[in-house]
Amino acid sequence: MLGDVIHEMTGNKVGWRVLPPDAQGPRMEISYQGTGVMLGVKTVETGTYTAVARPDGTFFADGQGITIANDGGIISWTSQGIGTPDGKGVVSYRGVIFFQSTSPTFSRLGTVTGISEYEVREDGPLFGKVWDWK
């Protein structure tokens, strides 16, 4: 069951590059930066994910990043998800995210499995939301 929203963010792609294909298919690396709120604290986030194009037209994404809170707390995270293009320039990713932090404000995130939704627009903007999976 989905619990509370623990993170929301908006951002922009800041870089991307095509990687050599692997056994799964063609790959692209996308980096982004954004701002948001995690557990009620304002944050700045930087992340990178690799998206592998699959034969069915979806993408498998594997990501990692760092979120820095206004109170100085630092959260690292890893994620995986499936992206579905809408044919109009937006890919909707749904997946899981795992956090780690030594900050007292965010240390409880180490016990959380997050369920994520991200919308990534072809022209750059992206939006994300993460819920605590209870």
Positions in the chain short of pLDDT 70 = none
pLDDT at residue 58, as a whole number: 97
pLDDT at residue 94, as a whole number: 98
Q: How far apart are CA 63 and CA 6, in angstroms?
A: 18
pLDDT at residue 22, as a whole number: 86
pLDDT at residue 79, as a whole number: 98
Q: What structural domains and CATH numbers belong to the chain? A: 2-133 (2.40.160.20)
Count of positions (residues) in the chain:
134
| CA-based nearest residue to 57, from 16, 86, 19, 96 | 86
Token match 């992340």: residue?
A: 47
pLDDT at residue 24, as a whole number: 86
Question: Can you give the pTM of this predicted structure?
Answer: 0.93
pLDDT at residue 1, as a whole number: 85
